Amino acid sequence: MNAFSFLDIEREKGITMVLDKGLSPDFINDYLKVCGEYINFIKFGWGTSAVQNRDIVKEKIRNYKRYGIKSYPGGTLFEVCFSRGMFDEYLNECKELGFEAVEISNGSMDLSLEDRKNAIKMAKDEGFIVLTEVGKKNIEKDKELSIMDRINLINEDLKVGADYVIIEGRESGKSIGLFDKEGNVKLSEFETLINNVPVEKIIFEAPNKNQQVEFILKVGNDVNLGNIAYNEVISLETLRRGLRGDTFGKIQ
Amino acid sequence: MNAFSFLDIEREKGITMVLDKGLSPDFINDYLKVCGEYINFIKFGWGTSAVQNRDIVKEKIRNYKRYGIKSYPGGTLFEVCFSRGMFDEYLNECKELGFEAVEISNGSMDLSLEDRKNAIKMAKDEGFIVLTEVGKKNIEKDKELSIMDRINLINEDLKVGADYVIIEGRESGKSIGLFDKEGNVKLSEFETLINNVPVEKIIFEAPNKNQQVEFILKVGNDVNLGNIAYNEVISLETLRRGLRGDTFGKIQ
Amino acid sequence: MNAFSFLDIEREKGITMVLDKGLSPDFINDYLKVCGEYINFIKFGWGTSAVQNRDIVKEKIRNYKRYGIKSYPGGTLFEVCFSRGMFDEYLNECKELGFEAVEISNGSMDLSLEDRKNAIKMAKDEGFIVLTEVGKKNIEKDKELSIMDRINLINEDLKVGADYVIIEGRESGKSIGLFDKEGNVKLSEFETLINNVPVEKIIFEAPNKNQQVEFILKVGNDVNLGNIAYNEVISLETLRRGLRGDTFGKIQ
């Protein structure tokens, strides 16, 4: 039971995906006592899992799993492996390490639609939850993607079997995807997007508070949000429930 | 005994209030070994205590108390409860959880002066240390408060029995209270303020280093500072004692 | 063995120096399991070691040492002691605490070239690894140093016996040394610098990701980098190996 439970402020379902860029195993155990119940997915950001000891990675995944949290390596690691012709090795190692999900992306490399679809299918066949990502890491390349390009790709991914599609926001949340260079949400593109995709299948990367607030107020407090810093999970949870000034009195 | 104790750099009293927005219990115990002696108040920021397990909240408060640190929930939680007519329940739960202080604020809601005074008195009567806060979370609403409005409210609060009055700075320290949109201290307003209130009863929220430096150099190294990030406590302590470039040679 | 070891992405040697501004001892032990092997030097930033308990400082240094990491106190502490005529006491306390290196700097005070050279020699004679630093903490004073002034000082320090020379970047990485006010690397000055000093003896303070990327791409993934935040060590390691979008496909 939470403190101040007389407030009776439950919230609708809605995914929270958190960025782990090198947390340590005992710290994780302690940390999850406070916010384990609010996290659905943990992303071992980009290629960070490949510079951590194998046994430590396994231990961390187990720690998360105890709270029902599903771990996956960042899309960049998929891209590094795929571009070297090592996708089989990749899926195999993911399975051995205990990852329950994988991310298929083309943020840093070219990937034909055909290859993308096959990768999604293969990962599904191997039993993984599949998250795909739409967007480019490079600002200029990302700008070349129109909002309709993004919508089409999202719907293609879902049709092939992706479980969720992530909208790229990077760790910075600036000049990328739905964000302008100050990190504000580009509202017209955002509205076009949510009118043309099943929003419950979308995870919006939203590393900054103003973005989390915007998505919660526009979509609802059950919006799926990702790239949440590990130490902002409790803060996000208060935003979702109207317990912080930014959403006070604005949550139904 | 501290390292390099031959330097003999003690400092005057002066309160440090730290923001806990979801720290975990074992981490706190370890953390306090390094900086427990420098912290006077811990604020469980805004409504964060209401999304944490009751037993964990109790355990955290106990851990802090062992170092003489007084805990209290952020003013927003008071506002959520008060606006629902649950102020009694609020004070009662604070007591049961072990909080030694409460914050009375109107950052996100309207509160008549009469209600404000009564709330301060009731909390005092229940044995709590009472901190009040002056300022609005919303940038536009906060701008409507003149510096004289703030001064009057501070002095009213103190007259009714508030132990300390906090000057709102939020977690960001920008476009709020005494800070302009770059987070610089508005010096003329600041000087008016400190000339018209008992400065030893004021806690200045100062999340950013440049603000801490400014307040220390203007008021003295015994200035009361709040909303300090948990991992900036040691840094603040060096600023207070002239052990960082920013205040080197400038502390009497 | 690391996870995903089939990628076989080793890297050249290259120093990583990390900023400790008040980490706690058990946390350090847990933390080093994840990234201990990637850290060469730990700096107890500026005067932070002088506001921590002596036994805790000793314990932290021992914890780091177990991973072969060499600790040293920030240059500002040297300056505080030297300017009080307590350099002997300083070196003695450093030795008793277990520090294996010291930093000689003049970021906040004036120091004649003669005194600087003597300090380097004395610290070497006492068996310390000696790092010197070039640059001023104050933005205006730092601007007065031309790039040739910096180059000359670096080469003088090395001639006298300094093991490494640090290029000041502060914790912020803005308006200081090689960085402009947005934190971008001033490329022309940077190129002049690396053409006139032995780059393997230089540690570039580079607290921000864009700076780390720039130095890695310009100098190589074995560039010596400093003032890395403790929670960015794994991220830096992925940048060095082409495992993050910013350096993907750009590391030989």
Distance CA A42, CA A32 (A): 12
Q: Is A49's CB within 8 Å of C248's CB?
A: no
Closest Cα to residue B42, out of B64, B58, B57? B64
For chain C, give the percent of residues with pLDDT over 90.
95
Q: What's the whole-model pTM score?
A: 0.96
Is ipTM > 0.85 here? yes
User: How many other β-carbons are positioned within 10 Å of the β-carbon of residue A134?
Assistant: 25
Residue C146: give the domain boundaries. 13-241
Q: Contact, A13 vs A223, CB < 8 A?
A: no
- Summarised one tens digit per residue, pLDDT across range B80-122 is 999 999 999 999 999 999 999 999 999 999 999 999 999 999 9
Whether B251 is covered by a domain: the verdict is no
The distance of Cα A15 from the centroid of its chain, to the nearest Å, equals 9
Handedness of CA A146, A149, A155, A160 (dihedral sign): negative
pLDDT at C142: 92
Using the predicted structure, report yes or no on whether residue C124 has a pLDDT greater than 90: yes
Distance CA A16, CA A2 (A): 19
Whether C8 is covered by a domain: the verdict is no
With 0-12 CB in 10 A as exposed, 13-18 as middle and 19+ as buried, what is C198? Answer: exposed
Q: How far is B220 from chain A (nearest CA, A)?
A: 31
Residue C109 phi/psi, 5° resolution? -135, 165
pLDDT at B227: 97
As a whole number, the mean pLDDT across chain A is 96
As a whole number, the mean pLDDT across chain C is 96
CA distances from C69 to B101, C2, C17, C99, C232 (A): 43, 20, 9, 10, 17
Q: Is A7's CB within 8 Å of B84's CB?
A: yes
Q: How far is C158 from chain A (nearest CA, A)?
A: 33
Whether C1 is covered by a domain: the verdict is no
Whether C169 is covered by a domain: the verdict is yes
What is the DSSP secondary-structure string of C41-76? EEEE-TTGGGGSBHHHHHHHHHHHHTTTPEEEE-HH
Residue A132 sits in a domain of what CATH number? 3.20.20.70
pLDDT at A116: 98
pLDDT at C125: 98
CA distances from C141 to A239, C79, C144 (A): 44, 16, 5
Handedness of CA C79, C83, C89, C91 (dihedral sign): positive
pLDDT at C228: 98
Residue A103 phi/psi, 5° resolution? -115, 130
pLDDT of chain A along its 252 residues, tens only? Answer: 999 999 988 777 899 999 999 999 999 999 999 999 999 999 999 999 999 999 999 999 999 999 999 999 999 999 999 999 999 999 999 999 999 999 999 999 999 999 999 999 999 999 999 999 999 999 999 999 999 999 999 999 999 999 999 999 998 999 999 999 999 999 999 999 999 999 999 999 999 999 999 999 999 999 999 999 999 999 999 999 999 999 999 997
| A182 touching chain B per CB within 8 A | no
CA-nearest residue to C58 within chain B is B3
pLDDT grade, residue C13 (50/70/90)? confident
Handedness of CA B26, B29, B35, B39 (dihedral sign): positive
- Summarised one tens digit per residue, pLDDT across range A20-38 is 999 999 999 999 999 999 9
Q: How many CB pairs under 8 A join A and B?
A: 105
pLDDT at A11: 77
Query: Residues 231..250 of A with a Cβ closer than 8 Å to C: which?
Result: none
Using the predicted structure, report yes or no on whether residue B40 has a pLDDT greater than 90: yes
Q: Is C34's CB within 8 Å of A26's CB?
A: no
Distance CA B179, CA C57 (A): 36
Interface probe for A, chosen from C1, C2, C4 (most Cβ of A below 10 Å), is: C4
pLDDT grade, residue B10 (50/70/90)? confident
Whether B75 is covered by a domain: the verdict is yes
Q: Contact, A165 vs A132, CB < 8 A?
A: yes
| C9 touching chain A per CB within 8 A | yes
Distance CA A99, CA B222 (A): 51
Strand residue runs (E) in A163-219: 164-167, 202-205
What is the DSSP secondary-structure string of chain B? -BTTGGG--------EEEEESS--HHHHHHHHHHHGGG-SEEEE-TTGGGGSBHHHHHHHHHHHHTTTPEEEE-HHHHHHHHHTT-HHHHHHHHHHHT--EEEE--SSS---HHHHHHHHHHHHHTT-EEEEEES-SSHHHHHTS-HHHHHHHHHHHHHHT-SEEEEP-TTT-SSBTTB-TTS-B-HHHHHHHHHHS-GGGEEEE--SHHHHHHHHHHH-TT--EEEEEGGGHHHHHHHHTT-STTTTTT--
| C165 touching chain A per CB within 8 A | no
Q: How far is C156 from chain A (nearest CA, A)?
A: 38
pLDDT at B95: 98
User: How many other β-carbons are positioned within 10 Å of the β-carbon of residue B140?
Assistant: 8
Average pLDDT over residues C36-62: 98
pLDDT at A203: 98
CA distances from A157 to A3, A74, A116, A169 (A): 41, 17, 8, 18
pLDDT at A10: 78
Whether B2 is covered by a domain: the verdict is no
Query: Residues 82..141 of C with a Cβ closer than 8 Å to A: which?
Result: none
- Summarised one tens digit per residue, pLDDT across range B134-190 is 999 999 999 999 999 999 999 999 999 999 999 999 989 999 999 999 999 999 999
Distance CA A118, CA A115 (A): 5
Neighbours of chain C (3+ CB pairs under 8 A): A, B
Structure tokens at A20: 């782990």
Whether A155 is covered by a domain: the verdict is yes
Distance CA B189, CA B59 (A): 41
Buried b (16+ CB within 10 A) or exposed e, C20-52: bbbbbbbbbbbbbbbbbebbbbbbbbbbbbbbb
Instruction: Give the helix, strand, coil percentages of chain C, each rounded to 5.
Output: 45, 15, 35
pLDDT at B155: 98
How many domains, chain B? 1
As a whole number, the mean pLDDT across chain B is 96
Whether B234 is covered by a domain: the verdict is yes
Q: Which residues on chain C are in Cβ contact (under 8 Å) with A24?
A: 27, 30-31, 33-34
pLDDT at A100: 98
Average pLDDT over residues B72-82: 97
Report DSSP state, residue A244.
S
Q: Is A243's CB within 8 Å of B53's CB?
A: no
